[in-house]
Amino acid sequence: MRLFWSIAGVEARKRMSYRADFWLSSFVAFGTELGVAYFIVLAMVPVAGRLGGFSRDGMLLYYVAIILTARIVWSLDLDREISDDIYQGALSRYLLYPVSYGVLKYAAQIGALAPAIVQVILFSACVPFVLGLPEGIRITPATAAMALGAVAVANALHFLVTYPIRLVAFWADNCWSLLWAHRLVATLFGGLLLPLAMFPSWSQPLLNALPFRYMFAFPVDALLGRVTPVEYATGMAIALGWCGVAAVLSAGVWRRGTLQYTGVGM
């Protein structure tokens, strides 16, 4: 664990030293996302009406919460780092270490979250003053704790699900299109684009069974008090189950992939 936190600490120090990037991503990236969400909600939800169980203010809060959650789950730009390591031959040095490459990279991903965590704290502190707490939504210490647990699992789940996709770089020079395809699917079925409650009722069991909900919508639903303790426990169990499946798949792909690895590159 000491090694894990050392790696995370190094990555955090590195990321926090990019001051211009921190403020640009805080205001330009976040500002754009929140601005787009604001106008979508205004267009979709009537002033006094409800959509997917949300009032207009409730829907705004949902989008703010899910955008902040996605920032923590997605980390920054490490999506491409693993496939780049393979493509450029930088993986070689990690293979020499008596430590698992996946663990090293996950530690780096956790460390890379440092600026995002600071941004999320800053924006979260502003939300009550800007939006208030819409009617019918109760955020309590208990729901906040449940959301924190769900976000931690969501982060691991996202890493583990994308890990075998990134390892495709052992066979294909360029697997970024696969990562983009994953991102699009996760955005849609994870509730980032639209609240999952707006999907048809027949699709709900499927959305609950797939891993994407547990990456984004589930932590937000937990925060906004929209899941019962039983639903929360079930959801966490499903998410952890997917983590296990993805870990087994990753191990298999890694084993086959390293047989192919040539260690050449730039």
Under a CB-based contact definition with an 8 Å cutoff, are residues 58 and 134 in contact?
yes
- The H helix count followed by the E strand count for the chain is 13, 2
Which of 124/260 has CB closer to other proteins? 260
Report 66-95 residues binding other proteins (CB under 8 A): 89-90, 92-93, 95
Round to whole Å and give the CA distance between 72 and 120.
8
259 binds other proteins (CB under 8 A): yes
261 binds other proteins (CB under 8 A): yes
Token pair 């589930």 in the structure block, residue: 218
Q: What are the backbone dihedrals phi and psi of residue 43, each rounded to the nearest 5 degrees, phi first?
A: -75, -35
21 binds other proteins (CB under 8 A): no
Establish how many alpha carbons lie within 13 A of residue 182's alpha carbon, considering only the half-sphere containing its beta carbon.
20
206 binds other proteins (CB under 8 A): no
Which of 7/186 has CB closer to other proteins? 7
Which of 138/256 has CB closer to other proteins? 256
Which one among 10, 131, 144, 172 touches other proteins, defined by CB under 8 A?
10
DSSP for residue 173: S
7 binds other proteins (CB under 8 A): yes
The DSSP bridge partners found for residue 55 are: 50
Interface contacts to other proteins, rule CB under 8 A: 2-3, 6-7, 10, 14, 17, 89-90, 92-93, 95-99, 258-259, 261-263
